Amino acid sequence: MAVDLIVSPLSKYWSGDYITPVMEYAWQMGVAYNVVTPQGMTSRTEGTPYGGEDAKAEREELVPFVEKLMTALLSRGAAGAAWDERSNHFGFHRVDPEAFGELLKRAGQQFTQKPGLLGRLTGRKETASHLGKSVIFLPITFDAPLDLEGKVFGSLPRAKNELETGDWRGIPPEALHPIIGAFDEAIEHSLPLAIDM
C-alpha cells in the first residue's frame, strides 16, 4: 500500500483538484491513470485532475466551508494565522509505508501524555500525540488533536516539534528524509498536510 503526504489547501485535496507525479508518469508512458471510487474504476485521461472533470467546481464549493472551519478553530483559541485556502500549491511526497507506520506508532508511544492518579481523579484526560494520532495537520497551534467528522486533525507545528524531538533510531535516514521534507514544505507554505493512503 502506498502512503503519500500531501501539502495542499484542504479544498484542493478533498475535491481532487490536483495531478500527482504518479499520474503524470502514467501519461508519459502512454496509458490512462485509473482511479477506484465507490462507483467503480474510472480512467483519468491526460490533464484530468484526480477528482475528475468537476474537481475545480467542487473545490470552489468547498472553499467557504473550509474558511468557516478555519475561523471557528481560530476563534476557539488556536494560535496562528489563517492559511490561504485559494492557494494552488500542491506538494506530493511518497513515503516508505513501513517506516512511516513505525514512526507514527513510536510517536504515539513517546508523546501521548496519560494523567496520573490525581489527574484522573480530577477529570484530566489523556493528551494524544499530534503526529501519532492525526491524519490531517493544520498550520495552526492547538493543544490536542481534534476529531471532526470522523477525521483527526492535528496541529502542524506541534507535530513538527514531535518529529524533531522524537527518538527515531532504527528508522533508515533515507526513509525519514521524505517525511521531514513534507512537514518542512507544509510549514514553509503555511498549508495543511494530509496523510493519503
Query: Is 39 among the domain residues?
Result: no
pLDDT band, very low/low/confident/very high, at 70 (cuts 50, 70, 90): confident
pLDDT for residue 149: 74
pLDDT for residue 123: 56
* pLDDT (tens digit per residue) in 41-62: 888 888 889 988 999 999 999 9
Query: Is 157 among the domain residues?
Result: yes
Q: How many domains does the chain have?
A: 1
pLDDT reading at 122 higher than 70: no
pLDDT for residue 99: 92
Vertex 11 angle, CA 6 and 16, to 5°: 65
Query: Is 127 among the domain residues?
Result: yes
* pLDDT (tens digit per residue) in 133-148: 889 999 988 888 888 7
CA 5 → CA 1, 45, 46, 181, distances in Å? 13, 23, 23, 10
Query: Is 85 among the domain residues?
Result: yes
pLDDT band, very low/low/confident/very high, at 69 (cuts 50, 70, 90): confident
Beta bridge partners of 5: 93, 195
pLDDT for residue 40: 84
pTM of the prediction?
0.85
All three cell numbers of 100: 512511516
Give dist(CA 70, CA 83) in Å, integer.
Answer: 8
Query: Is 128 among the domain residues?
Result: yes
| Residue 155 belongs to domain spanning | 3-16+52-196
pLDDT for residue 58: 95
Q: 141-170 burial string, b = 16+ CB within 10 Å, else e?
A: ebebbbeeeeeebbbbbbbbebbeebebee
